[in-house]
Amino acid sequence: MKNVLVTGGAGFIGSNFIHYLIQTEANVNIINLDALTYAGNLSNLSSVENHPRYRFVQGNICDADAMDNLLREHEIDTIVHFAAESHVDRSILGPRQFVETNVMGTFNMLEAARNYWLRDKSMPLEHVRFHHVSTDEVFGSLKAGEPAWTEETPYAPNSPYAASKAASDHLVRSYGHTYGLPYTITNCSNNYGPYQFPEKLIPVIILNAMEGKPLPVYGDGQQIRDWLHVQDHCEAIHLVLTKGKTGSTYNIGGVNQPANLTIVETICDILDEISDTTHKPHKNLIQFVTDRPGHDRRYDMDTHKIHAELGWQPRHTLTEGLLDTVKWYLDNLEWVNSIRKKQEYKGWLDTNYKAR
């Protein structure tokens, strides 16, 4: 890797990956491409904005011509493709944007890579890589007792978000098979950690609990998820980029499957212990609300392949990771408040939760 393009680099996982890459790769230039939609936040990268090997470019992956020019201008040899609409609830209310960004946007990035790397023969194929970041939600939902998903599990997406990511995964594979584009794909489980946009479950619960607001739990709260600390995710992606086999897919998970209600109760216990709010016990704030349509019941990732081939396993236990995450939000309320002031964020919360 010499010149790495990180799409969606101002978002939650993308910005964490840029921090990780700057710390671990001393000779890599990083170009951060982000459209700065509601979830993109350059303050996530304020500590590196003047770094000599980092550059931010505002742009949209749906702009095909701009993507073609970007790869040539910066002589990109590696693309790490995070840019996506990623919130299931938003996909239920407005699926069109998910199809446009996740499917057509990925198509544009693949075409730009094909034009520059394959048609123009800009550099040897063994020196380029298109890495696509995907999700476990493409596999659908597991029943109690069913085995965890492997890399060979057939896709069965249940939400517009999951379907759009499944489509983008298929496009990436097709470009590898048909055109010989060097690629890798990772399917990750639910991420959490620093800089997560405060509309997702864990930051919503932390921030509402601190302020004595209701803690909304969908349905009976017994939906099972695998929770992956974002720093562990970044380390896994880096390993796949540097040591993974071209044309391969790797599952990345936190190797845990608690119920959503357990996550909420654990956060409440942490806040009871370390915070000085007047809302203790925070569990009293839990409020069960109408479940979202088509809510998948259980996810479980089999991570044996990435462990066997690359030696990766998560460093964070869920207990340690949640404690660190709660502390991060408590210590970064200025960052949180800058987002919560935006009307788009307020409007979204009202639309999604008040009707429940």
161 catalytic? Reply is yes
Name the active-site residue from 77, 85, 89, 137. Answer: 137
The one catalytic residue among 161, 192, 195, 250: 161
Strand bridging mode 54-58 / 29-34: parallel
- DSSP class of residue 221 equals S
CA atoms lying within 13 Å on the CB side of residue 258: 16
| Paired sense of beta strands 190-192 and 227-229, if any | parallel
Judge whether 136 counts as a catalytic residue: yes
Catalytic residue from among 34, 77, 85, 136: 136
The rounded distance, in Å, linking the Cα atoms of 85 and 25 is 28
DSSP secondary-structure letter at 17? H
Bridge partners for 52 per DSSP: none
- Residue where the block lists tokens 């680099």: 9
The pair of structure tokens assigned to 50 is 């003047």
Percent of residues in the chain assigned helix, strand, coil, to nearest 5: 45, 15, 35
Centre a 10 Å sphere on the Cβ of residue 57 and count the other Cβ atoms it contains: 14
Task: Provide Rg for the chain, Cα atoms.
Answer: 20
> Annotated active-site positions, please?
136-137, 161
